[in-house]
Chains A and B, each alone.
Chain A
Amino acid sequence: MTLDDLAGRIHAGDLDGVLDQATAWSAKERAAWRRRADEVYEAVNALWGPTLGERRAGWDRVHPAWFAYLLVVNRRHLGSVWSPLPDEATFQRIVQRVGDDWVLPWAASRGIHHLDDCLRIEALGYAVEHDEAWIQRMIVAGSWIRSDPESLQRVRPDVWRLFEVQGSSEASLAGHDKYGDNAWSDILITWMNDGTIDRDRLLDATLDALSRGFVSFRASWFRQFHDRLGPTRSERAARAERYVDLLASDDGPTRKLALDAIGMLEPASFSDEARLVEALGPAALVKAKGTALLAVAQIGRFSARRVLDDHAGEADVERWSRAIEAYGVALAHPHRDVQAAVLRAVHMGLSFRAAQRPPSEFIAIVQGWPELVHASLRDDAVAIVRACAPEGETATADRDRGPTPEAQPAVPGRPLLAEEVPRGPTTVDALRLAWLRALEAPEDVIHVEATLGASVRCAHPKAGDDAMAGPLGVRIRQVLDGGRNQLGFPLALVAHAWVTGREATAWGRTSTTGPAFVTPHEVGPMGWMLRPFLATRCQAIAAQIASGLDLPLLSTPTRRDGTLDVDALLARAGAWDDAGHTPAMTDLITALARVDLRSGRPPFPGDTRRLYEARRTLGPLRALVWFTVCDLDGRAPGGPPRAPALVAELGVELGLMRDDDAADGIRKVATRWGRGSTVPWPALDPPAWEPGPVAGAPGGLRCEGRHLASTVGLGLCPVRASMQAAVMAAAWSGFEEPTVAPGCAAWSALLLPTHPEPYAAWLASRASLDRGAGSDKSLAEGYRHLGAMPGPFGPWTAWALGLAMCGVAVGTRALAAELAVGWAVAERLPISALGEALAAQWSVDGLPCKRFLSAIEPVQTDPASVRALRPAVWHALRGEPADWSRDVSALLAWLVEADALVGPCPRPVEATAFLGRFRGKGKAAGFARQLLHA
C-alpha cells in the first residue's frame, strides 16, 4: 500500500478500508510506516484547507484521517493527534480492530483542553492515570464542567488535588480565573454550602496549598479563595499555628495574609507564642513596606503591651527579649519607615526596667554593618546600642559623647537618643540651607525651631537687600507672595529678617504690621488660637533679629520630643534679665508650654517668691505665672499638676493674644491667679458658644455641629481646664486647608508628651468628623504616639477614645479601640467615661454601634478585653438607641457570643429593665431572652 492509497481511502472517508488495512499490516510493515509518520501527517493535513470553512467541508473524513495517522505514528507522537475522540460506536470499532494498547498512552498525551476525551475513555472502562496533567485538564475544564453535573461528579474525588498542583503557565487556577470566571471557586463554595465537602478540610487544603511554595501569581488564587471562604475567628484560632507557618513563605502577599489572620487573633490562640514572635522578625523582611510594617507592629502586639505593664513578670520579660531579637532581624529591612518603626519599638521597650536586655541581632547589624541602617536613623540606632551595652562600656561611651545638660532623657532610665539634642546650624551656609529646608517643610517643627534659634544667634554677614538675590532670597519672595494662608509664611518673615537685617514691613497685599493676622476663616470661635499665635511669635522673632538683639529664644526645645529643660529655660531667662530686656510674650508662653510636667512634681524647684524678688523685668511676671500654675494645681483636688490645667491656662493667654497688648492680658490673669481668684469665664467665652444640653450629656456648651466630639467633651468635663483644652482641640481641628492641617498636627504633636489629654481630644475630634480622616497619616502617627504614653488617663481621654471608636475612619477607629481596650484592661482608663461616650454616640445615630463592633473586632476573643469593655457597653445600652432593632441587636449578639455574661451582671436591675424593652421585638428579643436567662 502506498501513501497515495492511504490518502485516497482517507479522502473517500472509508474508515473500514483504513481499518482493514490496519489489521492487514504486519508489525514490520507498521514499523516501516512509522518512519513515514510525518508524511502521513502532511497528507492528512492536506485534506483540510487553510481556512476553517474548508476544514468543515472535510469533516466527514476526520475519523479515517485521524485513525490513519494513529496507525502509523509512534507512541511518542500520540499527543499530536489533535482530533477529538470519535463517537462511541466508531471508537469501539477502532479498538476492536487494532487492540486497546494505544488508548491509555493516547489519553495520557491529551492536551490540557481534552478532559472530556479522558472522561469518555474512562467511561468506556479504561483506567486513565490521574496524574498532574489530569489535574491541569480539570482546572482548564472549570468553565464548562460547572454546567455538566455528570462530569462534575466524576471529577469530584480529585477535587482535593486541585490544592496540591501548582499548574503551569497554561493551566493554573489563578490564570483560569483571571481570564475566565471563578468557576472552581464557585463550584467548591457550592459544594461546601450543600455539605458535599467539608468546610474545615477546604480551609486546611487552602492553607496547605499556600504552604507549598507556589509562585506568587499561582498562589494568588488560593489567597483569594481563603478570603472568600471568610474563616471565622474561631476557625482562624484553630489554625493559628498554620498561619505562623505561612509567615515563612517567600511570597509577600501570602505573608500578608498570615499577618492579617494573626492580627485578628489574641495571644491565647497560639500554643507557642515564642515561636510566633520569632517568626515575625523574618516575616518583616519582605519587599512590600506595608507588610513589613505590619509584621513589626505584630511583634509589639504580642510582646510589648504586657512588658509595658509595671506588673510585668519574668515571663513577660522573656517574651520581650524574644521580641527584641525579632526587631533586630526586622532592622535588616532596607526601607527607612520600617527601620524607624523598629527603632521606635526597641527604644520604647528599653524605657522600662523590665526590658533592659541587649538585642544581639540588633547590635550585630548596627555595629557590624551601620551602612545598612538609614542615614537619618543611624545615630538613634547607635545610641540604643550604647544604652544596651554593659555597664563599663556605657560609662566610657557617655564620657566620650556625653549628653549636654540640656538634653537629659525625658523619662528617667530611658536611653537618650542622639536626636534629642537639638543641633541647630552653626555656620552661615548651614543656616542658609536650613532655611531653605524650613520653608519647604514648615511642619518639621524640630528643624524649624532649631533654625529659629540659630537665626537669632547667627547674624548674616551680607545683610541687606542684595542677599535676597540668592536662592534663599528667591524662595522667601515666593513664599511671601503666596499669601498668609501658608504655614511657611510667618517663617518667611523671620527668614527675611535674617537675610536682610530688617523686618518685612509690607509684602504684596498683606500688611504684616498692626493687629494679628485676620483672615475670614480665623474669625469666630474656631481658628483664632494657634496659627495667629505662631505668626505673632514669628513676627516677634523677626523683630528681634532685625534689632540685632542676640539673646537666646526662650522656647527653643532642648529635647527631640519638643520639651524644654527647666534649667535651660532659667538660664536663658537669666540672660534676658541680665541684658535688661523683656522677651516676647509669645516666646515665653511657648516656652512654658514646653516645660515637662510628666514627673508629677512642680517643675520649678525652690521658692518661686524668691524668683519674684530676684528678677527685675521678666522675673515678676514669670514668677507669678509659675507660682500660679504650681499653686493652683497643688490646691486642686486632682493632686499633682496636671497637663490640661497648664494647657487651659495658656489657652486663655492665647485667647488674649488677640489683643494688641498681649502682655497686659497675661499679667491680668496671672495676677488674679496669684491672688487665688478664679478666672472670669463669662468674660472670656466666645460669643458663639451657647449653654445647653448636648448629645445626652447633662449640660455643656454647643458650638458648630461638625465639632460634635469637642462639644460633647465640653459637656461632660466639669473641670474648666479640660473645657478650655477641648476648645483648643476644637480650634485645632478647625483648620481646613490641607497645607495647614498637617503642619498644625505636627505643632500640636509637640505638646503631646506633656499634654496627652488635649492631644487625644484633637485626635478624637478629627477622627469623628466625616472628612476622610482615615487616610490621614498624621492621625495614625498620633495614635501611635499616644499609645506610647504610660498613663493613667482621665475621663476626658476615655471620652475622646470612645468617640473615636465610633468614628467614620476605619483605621483610626481600630487604633482608638486598641488603645482603649488595652488601657481598659490595664485599668488605666475610667471605663464609665468610655461607656458615656459610647452612649452619647449611639443616642445620636445607630450606625456607630456597628462601627464600635468593627473597631473592637480584633479583641473580641480576648476574655480580658471583653470583661473590660462589658461595663462600658452595659452603661451605653442604658441610653435610648435610635436604631435598636438592627444595631443594638448586633451588640446583644456580640455580648452573647463573646460569653460576656459569664459572671455577675454589673447592674442587674438596670439590665433587666433595659432588656425588658426588647420583649417581642424581633431578632433582638431572642438575644434579650438569652441575656436574661444568663
Chain B
Amino acid sequence: MPEAATVRYAGASAMTASGLALVASNPVPDAGAAAEQTPFYVGRVHDAQTVARMLFVLGQVVDSRHHVPPQMVARLVAEADPVVTLGDGVLRFEGFSRCCSAYARVDLLPDAHLGEEARHGTTNVDFSGPLRAALGSVRARGDLGLRVSEEALAVRAGGSEIEQRRIALPDRWVRGFLHLGRHAARLTPRGEMAWPEAVRLWMQLPRDDRTPAWIARVGGGWRLVRRPVAEGIRASGTSRLRALQGLLQGASRVVWFGDPEGQTSGVVVEQGPVRFTLMTTADPWRGFSGEGDGLEHVGTGPGIAALRARLRWQPLLRAEDLGSDTAAMARLAAQGLLGFDLAEQAWFHREFPWRPERTHTLYPRIRRAERLVAEEGVRFGSDSVAYVRGTHAEHTVDLSARPVTCTCRWFAKTQGRRGPCKHVLAAQRAVASR
C-alpha cells in the first residue's frame, strides 16, 4: 500500500478584516521546512460574479463523486482540494472530482484580474463548504479579492466564517495530475457552440446517464446521441457535464474537444478573460488516476533535467519554445511539471507541492514492475520478446509491437488504451537495465 502524501494545514482558516483567509497546505510536506509567508499573489478580479461562479462550480466538481469503486476507501477519496497556480499573470485553479473521472480548471487570464503583487507559485488550498457559500453570495458588480501564498488563499467575498480542515492529498490526485497533461495534449477542437445552443443542449442532458453517449451536431443542432458519430464527442456519465450548466448563460463561446480514440473529452467555457475547462474520461468509472497512459515515461529521462531548467512559469509553452518535442513535454507533464491548456493548445508550467523525483513511486503498476525486475521475474526469448512472470502463468510481452503487447488478461481487456500493464513495464525496465 503506497503512503499518502500527507499535507497538513498550518492553522485555522478564519474571516479576517482583509477577507476570507483560507489555510493552505504546506507545499513541501516531506521537507518539513517552514514555508515562506509572503503571498505570491495579491489582487482582485474584475468580473467578480463570473469568477466566483466558476470557482463555485469548481468546488462542486471537486466535491462530486460519479462512481464509487468497491474497494475505495471513502475517507481518502473524500478529501481533495484544488491546486492554485500563478504564472506570468495567469491564475489557475484546478482539481478533480472525488472519483477522479472529471477534471476542472478555472483560468483567470491577465485581463481578468488586477494583481497588486504577482509573482509565481503553486499551492493547494482548502475549498470547503463555507467558501463555496461565500462564493455563491458574490453578486454582480461585487468585489472578489484574492491573496494567494504558499500557505493560504484569502478570498474577500462577503462575510462568512470558514472552518479549518486537515486534509491528506491522496495518491489518486497526484496520479491524475501526472496523467492529465498527456491526455489533454491529444485533444483537438471538435466544435464550437454559442451559449443559447449550449443551454439548450445542457437542459436536454439526462441527470445521470452512464450508458455510452456522444454529443454531436445532428440535424442542425447539438444533441446527445446513443451511437458513435463522426466528429462526435464521447459524453458518458452526463452528471459530470451538468456541473457546467450554471456557467453557460452569457458565455462568449463553448468549445468541445475530443481525441481520435474517444478516450477523453473536454469542454471549455469562455466568459471573456475567464475560462472554465472540464475534462472527462470515457466512462465515469474510469479515473484519470488509473488511466496509466504514459507510465513508461514516468521518471527522469534523457534531457529532462535540462528541459526542466528552462521552465520559468511560462503560462503558455510549446515544445518548440524549449527546443524539444511532444514526447519530452509529455515526460515533463508526467512529472507534474506541466499542465495543458486546451483552449490555447499549449502547455503551462507549474510546480506541484510534492517532489517530482518520487512521483513514480505512486504508481502500483510501476512498483510491481520494479518488484518483478528485482525478483528476476523477466526473461528474454529474443531481443523483442520477453516472458514475464504472472500471478498464474508466464506472460509473453512483444516489445516490437506498437503498442507493446502482452498476453495478460488486463491487456486483453484494455488493449493498451489505459497504458502498459505491469508486465510490459517490467519488460521495458529490464531491457533498459541490460
- Residues on A lying within 8 angstroms of B by beta carbon are 131-132, 164-166, 208, 211-213, 241, 245, 248-250, 275, 278, 281-282, 285-287, 329, 331-334, 364-365, 368-369, 371-372
Contacts and interface: CB of A to CB of B under 8 A. Distances in A.
B139 interface: yes
A334 B197 CA distance: 10
B139 A245 contact: yes
A331 B243 CA distance: 22
Contact of A212 (B133, B194, B197, B203): B133
A164 to B, nearest CB: 5
B31 interface: no
B221 A371 contact: yes
A796 B196 CA distance: 46
B16 interface: no
Interface stretch (B53-61, B179-187, B387-395, B414-422): B53-61
Contact of A166 (B63, B130, B140): B63
Given A278-B140, A334-B203, A369 B197 contact: yes
B60 A332 contact: no
B197 A372 contact: yes
B140 A245 contact: no
Contacts of B63: 166
Given A164-B129, A332-B199, A369-B194, A213 B136 contact: yes
A132 B63 CA distance: 13
A211 B136 contact: yes
A821 B163 CA distance: 49
Contacts of A212: 129, 132-133, 136
Given A275-B140, A285-B203, A334-B200, 7 more contacts: A211-B133, A212-B133, A213-B59, A241-B139, A248-B53, A250-B246, A332-B200
A213 B132 contact: yes
A241 B204 CA distance: 30
Interface in B34-86: 53, 56, 59-60, 63, 78
Nearest to A109: B75
Nearest to B200: A334
23 contacts: A164-B129, A213-B59, A213-B60, A245-B139, A248-B136, A248-B246, A250-B60, A250-B243, A275-B140, A278-B140, A282-B249, A285-B199, A329-B249, A329-B250, A331-B196, A334-B203, A334-B204, A364-B196, A369-B194, A369-B197, A371-B220, A372-B197, A372-B221
Nearest to B141: A275
Given A164-B130, A282-B249, A285-B203, A332 B136 contact: no
Interface of B: 53, 56, 59-60, 63, 78, 129-130, 132-133, 136-137, 139-141, 165, 194-197, 199-200, 203-204, 220-221, 242-243, 245-246, 249-250
B137 to A, nearest CB: 6
A376 B56 CA distance: 38
B182 to A, nearest CB: 31
B129 A166 contact: yes
A275 B140 CA distance: 7
A213 B56 CA distance: 8
Contacts of A287: 203
A118 to B, nearest CB: 16
Contacts of A248: 53, 136, 246
A372 B196 contact: yes
B15 to A, nearest CB: 14
Nearest to B137: A245
B133 to A, nearest CB: 5
B125 to A, nearest CB: 18
A371 B219 CA distance: 11
Contacts of A245: 136-137, 139
B332 to A, nearest CB: 34
Nearest to B195: A332
A665 to B, nearest CB: 57
B277 to A, nearest CB: 19
Contacts of B196: 331-332, 364-365, 368-369, 372
A889 B133 CA distance: 44
Nearest to B249: A282
Contacts of A278: 140
A285 B249 contact: yes
A250 B129 contact: no
B247 to A, nearest CB: 10
A326 to B, nearest CB: 11
Contacts of B203: 285-287, 333-334
B213 to A, nearest CB: 18
A331 B203 CA distance: 13
A114 to B, nearest CB: 15
A676 B199 CA distance: 65
A249 B220 CA distance: 30
A368 B194 contact: yes
Nearest to B63: A166
Contacts of B194: 368-369
Contacts of B195: 332
Contacts of B130: 164
Contacts of A213: 56, 59-60, 132, 136
A535 to B, nearest CB: 45
Nearest to B49: A248
A165 B136 CA distance: 16
Contacts of A369: 194, 196-197
Contacts of A364: 196
Contacts of A211: 133, 136-137
B83 to A, nearest CB: 20
Contacts of A329: 249-250
A372 B78 CA distance: 40
A369 B250 CA distance: 14
A372 B221 CA distance: 9
List the 8 closest pairs (A to B, CB-CB), nearest first. A332-B196, A211-B136, A282-B249, A332-B199, A250-B246, A212-B133, A164-B129, A213-B60
Contacts of B59: 213
Contacts of B197: 369, 372
Nearest to A213: B60
B253 to A, nearest CB: 12
A65 to B, nearest CB: 25
A372 B193 CA distance: 12
Contacts of B129: 164-166, 212
A286 B133 CA distance: 21
A275 B48 CA distance: 14
Contacts of B133: 164, 208, 211-212
A75 B138 CA distance: 43
Contacts of B249: 281-282, 285, 329, 332
Nearest to A133: B75
Contact of A275 (B60, B137, B139): B139
A368 B243 CA distance: 26
A153 B250 CA distance: 49
Contacts of B78: 132
B76 to A, nearest CB: 10
A165 B249 CA distance: 28
Nearest to B220: A371
Contacts of B242: 250
Contacts of A286: 203
Contacts of B221: 371-372
Nearest to B199: A332
Contacts of A368: 194, 196
Nearest to A286: B203
A726 B236 CA distance: 62
A165 B63 CA distance: 11
B245 A250 contact: yes
A650 B46 CA distance: 66
B180 to A, nearest CB: 24
A329 B194 CA distance: 13
A365 B249 CA distance: 12
Contacts of B60: 213, 250
A293 B323 CA distance: 58
